[in-house]
């Protein structure tokens, strides 16, 4: 049996790797490779494509081969596993499983719009929580399964804790930590609202972790990198994975980014910045969870309100905990360290069905 | 010895450029080479191994690394200027004589032709359409269409001979079907293989598909031809010979029908009902302008009837065809290639200026260059920038804080027209445009021409500024993603998008961080105010319509210094100062799109809500602010440094003096 993990972007890798690792540990007979389109870095308003050299090298160090897209056809995979519903460019054989990568809708994913029907391009759709499954099952004719959020497996297994995350960033256990994790769209992001206002926290002795979305404009990255150089208490996080920054936090400032959903699921108080242009976002839909579930955090609109709310949340972390515990499981399923196992098992079943059907067809069996 | 590079994107361009190449080959002292695009099966484009042999037959070196060859000019049959920027003058000898919303059109897409230095137009109508488009300002010369030179020359085979070559009886009528490959414009998706009904014992049907037609079409017609001796699928790229042998030509919006008119062949057109779905559809494009010289049909039955009418009476529409020919081609004498070659050599000799505004003595732009100190590196940089302007200009130097003669001598040696302060506003009024250029700016190739084009294209624009280079290296016109990052169709597409599509867009100034280079349309009543406010940095620009030109790039030496600071931790005080100022500038810039769309009193931007340390840009060069910042953080040593730096610049600054006292530092005056 052969499985190719086709990562269209850098950020898909953390969602694919736990699956490939589980299959390698439990089904060593399965051949696995990673593949990605030719690399194009992200630019202003233009998402990057493919995997950069560092990531490919990292995959190789982890024992995985990487092949270019033109070679996948000859490799003849039984299953292609992806973390996105963008199936463009796939012209090789085998079935497709999509483990998805986000938690929120952004007017495109997990919504009742027609655009989600592109998910039907996969033979198996795996989603994190029951909420996502419920939305997609109404829209799609392909099987949809909620298997949990693989990125939280290390948390579920106790490998990633607040202490270990803080150690990673050189932050003490007693420090009070604010994580700023905004999205990248100008109409939605908290960045234009607070800009360099994060210095206030730094000057008040709080530690500030700035974790920008990978697709953020270069000018935003430059501003926060410079701020981190000027302020000891501001740490610019260049990780690909957001979860350690959330785990390290006492409070999370976000906007409509899936960061606030992760924070909520990990029971961190969240301050939700409403960008004044939010409703002008082309795909704005108040029914999407990033708008419909905002009662899980404190909504703010100005820099002053952000500062005030952060301090309140630091002093009263129990506020809104009931809402976090209500929404959390619907979003990410159980945090038990076994999401990758559930996803991998489903993929192995799909692969088995495919190889069985394929061998029957090869032997002259006519499905009609 | 000029080096001229010919670029072939696909084999069908060989018959277009080879005649020009043959003319230049005979000229002593001209060095020639070619470059070809490798096959891209997904885009049905480029040269495969077999086609490469065709290119090799030309007998010139095929270059992979053309930049190393350092050409003086690049000649291409389709606008791929984005690939060749920085490699000499760029000239287009078009592969098509139609528009398709890309060339000789009023469609916005034509703006990409501004990346060229010269367009060789097939006929008067092409020159006229370009010059009147209001979108393209590149020089256009009417040269004719070299691809058809052979047909118009004496000794070209007569129709009967051609039929013999094509292995059909000279008595048999020949119909050439030459549809376009563009789905919503093509007749193929409607007619498909029903066209076979036109072929019989008396009539032979030649099908010539565009080389970029989908494989499924080629496959369908290959099967059709394989099963019917009266049908031939033409594989050769030599359309001209098949046009010449045809008795009737059937087409749609393909350039082939216009070429058929040039050869006085009766033409039947088929209109795809979806043609308006074509994203670049432009109803007054060339392919629609000359339909009156043909029968236009919309069903197979109509088409069949029209073909029979022409076969019986080929003189129908002859007058209309003759009229069209006058517009579509300059002299039909078979000397188009010679005229193209002359134009290219003229371009290289400077006889044919590539800029619409002409030479320096007819300059329509005044560049004001404020100079505040002598710095050999900056001087070289500025001279280099002026050399790369592209368009003609006159230079006005404005010494700010004194200057050295050496600096002025250097500038004078490059350009004699210098003007000392105060600027004579009356002198500026005689120019169409004024450019204020900071001394530390490095402009890339053709920066002034490109800025001018934006003002020419958009009459309501009062000024235009270029992009800053850092951050997005792909927008550096001399930087090619396809080779620098990773080769492949996707990078190629992105490259094309950045260099061709995006350059045609102007975006509001809200995303431009600096006014280190600005080109202003001269507005008599405002010029004094405008120029002064630009020179006094930080003052609001009194212009309403200012845009960012995505195709024009500059670098700022001072900005680079800030970016270098990122990598040099711990920061020196000077770097910290720069970084502080840059943070404020970036924060303001990031907020600008929101600020512009909200009421001015919207609370989001009330910086007073913060601790004020990064509040309004400091009027004290930042030393007071920084000193206070370090005092608050108990970093006394750092604070003292800031105060000392500040006092060195301004010993009388009251706040710095107060801080010096607070810190126990004695100022020079007190000592």
Largest CA distance in chain B: 113
Q: At what angle do helices B14-25 and B336-349 cross, to 10 degrees?
A: 60
Structure confidence at residue B180 (pLDDT): 93
Over pLDDT 90: what percentage of chain A?
A: 58
User: Sheet harboring A234-236: ordered strands across?
Assistant: A234-236, A207-210, A177-180, A251-254, A270-273, A298-300
Using 50, 70 and 90 to split pLDDT, how confident is the model at A256? very high
Structure confidence at residue B475 (pLDDT): 37
Structure confidence at residue B64 (pLDDT): 85
Q: Which whole number is the average pLDDT over A64-84?
A: 91
Q: Are B90 and B117 in contact (CB under 8 A)?
A: yes
Give me the residue label for tokens 């030496």. B557
Structure confidence at residue B586 (pLDDT): 77
Q: Could you give the angle at the alpha carbon of A259 between the alpha carbons of A256 and A261, nearest 5°?
A: 80
Nearest CA in chain A to B611: A200
More confident site: A66 or B400: A66
Average pLDDT, rounded, for chain A: 88
Structure confidence at residue B73 (pLDDT): 93
Q: Do A276 and B611 touch (CB under 8 A)?
A: no
Q: Are A253 and A314 in contact (CB under 8 A)?
A: no
Structure confidence at residue B8 (pLDDT): 96
Using 50, 70 and 90 to split pLDDT, how confident is the model at A115? low
Q: Are A50 and A37 in contact (CB under 8 A)?
A: yes
Nearest CA in chain B to A91: B42
Residues from chain A contacting residue B634 (CB–CB below 8 Å): none
Q: Which whole number is the average pLDDT over A215-226?
A: 82
Structure confidence at residue A367 (pLDDT): 35
Structure confidence at residue B199 (pLDDT): 94
Distance from CA of B568 to the nearest CA of A (A): 10
Q: Do A276 and B602 touch (CB under 8 A)?
A: yes
Q: Do B580 and A277 touch (CB under 8 A)?
A: no
- ipTM > 0.85 (yes/no): no
Positions of chain B with pLDDT under 50: 352-360, 470-487, 510-514, 558-569, 606-621, 668-671
What is the rounded distance in angstroms from the CA atom of residue A36 to the CA atom of residue B151? Answer: 50
Nearest CA in chain B to A205: B633
Reduce the DSSP state of residue B194 to 3 states and report it.
Answer: helix
Residues from chain A contacting residue B594 (CB–CB below 8 Å): 186, 192-193, 275-277
Structure confidence at residue B379 (pLDDT): 63
Structure confidence at residue B155 (pLDDT): 83
Which one of A86, A89, A196 would you mutate to disrupt binding with B, by most B Cβ within 10 Å of its Cβ?
A196
What is the rounded distance in angstroms from the CA atom of residue A349 to the CA atom of residue A351? Answer: 5
Q: Which of A49, A191, A230 sits opposite B590 (nearest CB)?
A: A191
Question: For the whole model, what pTM was predicted?
Answer: 0.55
For B424, other C-beta atoms within 10 Å of its C-beta total: 11
Concatenate the DSSP letters of all residues of B527-550 into one string.
HHHHHHHHHSTTSPP--S-EEEEE
User: Sheet harboring A31-35: ordered strands across?
Assistant: A65-67, A31-35, A2-6, A79-82, A95-98, A124-127, A144-146
Residues from chain A contacting residue B468 (CB–CB below 8 Å): none
Structure confidence at residue A293 (pLDDT): 92
Structure confidence at residue B256 (pLDDT): 95
Using 50, 70 and 90 to split pLDDT, how confident is the model at A244? very high
For the segment B274-323, what is each residue's pLDDT rounded down to a tens digit? Answer: 888 787 888 999 999 999 999 999 999 999 999 999 999 999 999 999 99
Q: Do B604 and A220 touch (CB under 8 A)?
A: no
Concatenate the DSSP letters of all residues of A49-63 into one string.
BB--HHHHHHHHHTT
The CA distances from residue B414 to A230, B359, B371, B402, B410, in Å, are 43, 15, 16, 21, 7
Q: Do A275 and B594 touch (CB under 8 A)?
A: yes
Structure confidence at residue B246 (pLDDT): 95
Pair type for strands B546-556 and B506-508 = antiparallel
Structure confidence at residue B359 (pLDDT): 43
Distance from CA of B498 to the nearest CA of A (A): 11
Rg over CA atoms, chain B: 31
For the segment A274-308, what is each residue's pLDDT rounded down to a tens digit? Answer: 998 888 777 788 888 889 999 999 999 999 999 99
Which one of B486, B498, B610 would you mutate to disrupt binding with A, by most A Cβ within 10 Å of its Cβ?
B610
Structure confidence at residue B416 (pLDDT): 58
Q: Could you give the angle at the alpha carbon of A184 between the alpha carbons of A232 and A322, nearest 5°?
A: 80
């Amino acid at each position: 049996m052969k499985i190719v993990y086709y990562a269209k972007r850098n950020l898909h890798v953390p969602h694919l790797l736990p699956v490939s690792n589980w299959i390698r540990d439990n089904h060593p007979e399965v051949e696995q490779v990673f593949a990605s389109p030719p690399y194009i870095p992200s630019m202003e308003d233009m998402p990057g494509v493919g995997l950069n050299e560092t990531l490919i090298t990292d995959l190789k160090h982890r024992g995985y081969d990487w092949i270019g897209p033109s070679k996948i056809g000859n490799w003849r995979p039984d299953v292609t596993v992806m973390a996105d519903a963008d199936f463009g460019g796939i012209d090789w054989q085998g079935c497709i499983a999509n483990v998805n990568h986000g938690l929120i809708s952004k007017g495109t994913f997990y919504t009742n719009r027609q655009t989600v029907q592109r998910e039907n391009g996969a033979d198996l759709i795996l989603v994190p929580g029951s909420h996502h499954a419920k939305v997609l099952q109404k829209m799609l004719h392909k099987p949809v399964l909620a298997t949990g959020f693989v990125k939280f497996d290390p948390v579920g297994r106790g490998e990633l804790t607040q202490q270990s995350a803080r150690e990673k960033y050189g932050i003490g256990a007693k420090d009070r930590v604010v994580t700023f994790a905004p999205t990248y769209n100008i109409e939605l992001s908290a960045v234009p609202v607070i800009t360099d206002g994060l210095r206030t926290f730094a000057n008040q002795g709080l530690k500030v972790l700035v974790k920008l979305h990978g697709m953020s404009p270069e000018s935003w990255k430059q501003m926060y990198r410079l701020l981190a150089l000027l302020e000891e208490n501001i740490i610019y996080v260049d990780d690909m994975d957001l979860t350690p920054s959330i785990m390290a936090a006492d409070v999370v400032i976000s906007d409509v980014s899936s960061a606030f959903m992760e924070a909520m699921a990990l029971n961190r108080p969240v301050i939700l910045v409403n960008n004044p242009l939010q409703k002008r976002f082309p795909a704005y839909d108040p029914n999407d969870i990033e708008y419909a579930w905002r009662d899980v955090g404190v909504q703010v609109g100005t820099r002053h309100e952000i500062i005030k709310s952060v301090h309140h949340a630091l002093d009263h972390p129990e506020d809104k905990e009931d809402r976090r515990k209500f929404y959390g499981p619907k979003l990410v399923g159980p945090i038990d360290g076994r999401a990758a196992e559930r996803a991998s098992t489903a993929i192995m079943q799909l692969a088995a069905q495919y190889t069985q059907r394929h061998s029957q067809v090869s032997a002259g069996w006519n499905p009609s | 010895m000029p080096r001229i590079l010919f670029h072939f994107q696909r084999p069908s361009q060989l018959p277009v450029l080879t005649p020009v190449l043959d003319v230049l080959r005979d000229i002593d002292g001209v060095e020639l080479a070619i470059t070809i695009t490798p096959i891209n099966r997904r885009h049905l484009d480029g040269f495969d191994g077999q086609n490469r042999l065709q290119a090799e037959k030309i007998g010139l070196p095929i270059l992979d690394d053309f930049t190393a060859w350092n050409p003086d000019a690049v000649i291409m049959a389709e606008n791929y200027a984005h690939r060749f920027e920085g490699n000499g003058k760029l000239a287009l000898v078009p592969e098509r004589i139609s528009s398709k919303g890309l060339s000789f059109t009023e469609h916005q897409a034509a703006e990409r032709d501004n990346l060229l230095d010269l367009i060789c137009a097939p006929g008067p109508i092409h020159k006229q359409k370009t010059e009147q488009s209001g979108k393209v300002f590149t020089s256009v010369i009417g040269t004719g269409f070299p691809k058809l030179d052979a047909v118009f020359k004496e000794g070209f085979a007569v129709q009967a001979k051609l039929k013999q070559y094509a292995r059909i009886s000279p008595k048999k009528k020949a119909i050439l079907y030459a549809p376009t490959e563009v789905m919503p414009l093509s007749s193929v998706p409607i007619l498909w293989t029903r066209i076979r009904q036109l072929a019989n014992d008396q009539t032979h049907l030649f099908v010539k598909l565009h080389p970029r037609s989908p494989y499924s079409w080629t496959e369908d017609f290959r099967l059709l031809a394989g099963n019917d001796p009266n049908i031939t699928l033409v594989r050769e790229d030599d359309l001209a010979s098949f046009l010449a042998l045809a008795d009737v030509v059937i087409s749609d919006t393909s350039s082939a029908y216009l070429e058929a008119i040039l050869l006085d062949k009766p033409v039947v057109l088929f209109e795809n009902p979806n043609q308006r779905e074509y994203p670049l559809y432009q109803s007054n494009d060339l392919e629609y302008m000359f339909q009156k010289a043909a029968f236009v049909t919309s069903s197979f039955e109509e088409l069949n009837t029209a073909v029979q009418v022409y076969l019986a009476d080929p003189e129908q529409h002859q007058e209309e065809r003759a009229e069209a020919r006058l517009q579509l081609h300059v002299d039909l004498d078979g000397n188009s290639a010679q005229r193209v070659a002359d134009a290219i050599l003229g371009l290289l000799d400077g006889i044919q200026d590539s800029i619409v505004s002409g030479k320096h003595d007819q300059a329509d732009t005044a560049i004001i260059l404020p100079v505040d100190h002598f710095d050999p590196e900056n001087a070289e940089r500025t001279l280099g920038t002026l050399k790369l302007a592209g368009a003609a200009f006159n230079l006005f130097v404005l010494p700010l804080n004194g200057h050295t003669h050496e600096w002025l001598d250097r500038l004078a040696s490059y350009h004699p027209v210098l003007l000392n302060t105060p600027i004579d506003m009356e002198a500026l009024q005689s120019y169409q445009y004024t450019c204020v250029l900071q001394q530390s700016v490095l402009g890339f190739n053709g920066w002034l021409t490109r800025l001018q084009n934006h003002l020419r294209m958009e009459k309501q624009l009062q000024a235009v500024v270029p992009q800053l280079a850092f951050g997005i290296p792909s927008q550096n016109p001399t930087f090619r993603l396809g080779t620098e990052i990773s080769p492949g169709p996707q990078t190629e597409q992105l490259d094309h998008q950045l260099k061709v599509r995006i350059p045609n867009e102007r975006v509001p100034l809200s995303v431009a961080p600096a006014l280190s280079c600005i080109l202003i349309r001269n507005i008599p009543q405002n010029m004094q105010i405008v120029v002064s406010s630009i020179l006094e940095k930080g003052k609001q620009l009194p212009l309403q319509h200012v845009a960012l030109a995505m195709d024009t790039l500059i670098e700022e030496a001072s900005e680079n210094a800030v970016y270098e600071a990122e990598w040099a931790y711990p920061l020196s005080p000077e770097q910290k100062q720069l970084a502080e100022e840059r943070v404020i500038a970036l924060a303001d810039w990031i907020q600008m799109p929101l600020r512009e769309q909200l009421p001015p009193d919207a609370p989001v931007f009330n910086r007073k809500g913060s601790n004020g340390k990064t509040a309004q840009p400091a009027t004290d060069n930042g030393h007071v602010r920084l000193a206070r910042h370090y005092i608050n953080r108990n970093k006394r040593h750092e604070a003292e440094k800031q105060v000392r730096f500040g006092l060195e610049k301004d010993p009388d600054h009251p706040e710095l003096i107060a801080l010096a006292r607070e810190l126990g530092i004695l100022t020079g005056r007190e000592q």
